[in-house]
Amino acid sequence: MAAARGLSLTAATQRAVTPWPRGRLLAASLGLQARREASSSSPEAGEGQIRLTDSCVQRLLEITEGSEFLRLQVEGGGCSGFQYKFSLDTVINPDDRVFEQGGARVVVDSDSLAFVKGAQVDFSQELIRSSFQVLNNPQAQQGCSCGSSFSIKL
């Protein structure tokens, strides 16, 4: 499908979307709502901070090797105006902010941070897809149904 659209997937990206073993699928699906409820009752992230859910930390520890980390970027596009982009990376640039929790790292460049500060990064395992997602983004006014694009508060 990606090849039909002219896209190429790197080995690192393919590792990020490799499904969990089948036995863990049901447990992950059943625990998703409980994790979201528990995380929404936790204290708000400080100004300019990004929080990681336990499922995000666990999945990053499973898929990253060596100095790899998850990069979160915000780009123009999507059905709501802006879209989240996740990738595995190994290079930290001078304008990047590093958020680490439990040994897992998420890196956000300063331009993208303005659009996601105070948000939470989660890993969601559902029957139809597995993905990293941005939840509870205080900078977003509304988003699309798939959760990958959003419009900002003015």
Residue extents of the structural domains in the chain:
51-152
Rounded (10°) CA dihedral 106, 112, 117, 119: -60
Query: In the chain, what is the straight-line distance between the N-terminal and C-terminal CA atoms, in Å?
Result: 36
How confident is the model over 135-152, as a mean pLDDT? 74
**How many Å apart are CA 28 and CA 98, to the nearest integer?**
27
pLDDT digits (tens, 9 = 90+) for 70-84: 999 999 887 778 899
Q: By C-alpha distance, which of 90, 94, 82, 96 is closest to 134?
A: 82
pLDDT reading at 43 higher than 60 = no
- Residue 132 is encoded by which pair of tokens? 């990293």
Q: What pTM does this model have?
A: 0.68
pLDDT digits (tens, 9 = 90+) for 119-141: 999 999 988 889 999 999 898 87
pLDDT band at 21 (very low <50, low <70, confident <90, very high): very low
At the topology level of CATH, where does 51-152 sit?
Hypothetical Protein Aq_1857; Chain: A; (2.60.300)
Higher pLDDT, 102 or 16: 102
pLDDT band at 146 (very low <50, low <70, confident <90, very high): low
Predicted confidence at residue 80, as pLDDT, reads 73
| Three-state SS at 38 | helix
Residues above pLDDT 90, as percent of the chain? 49
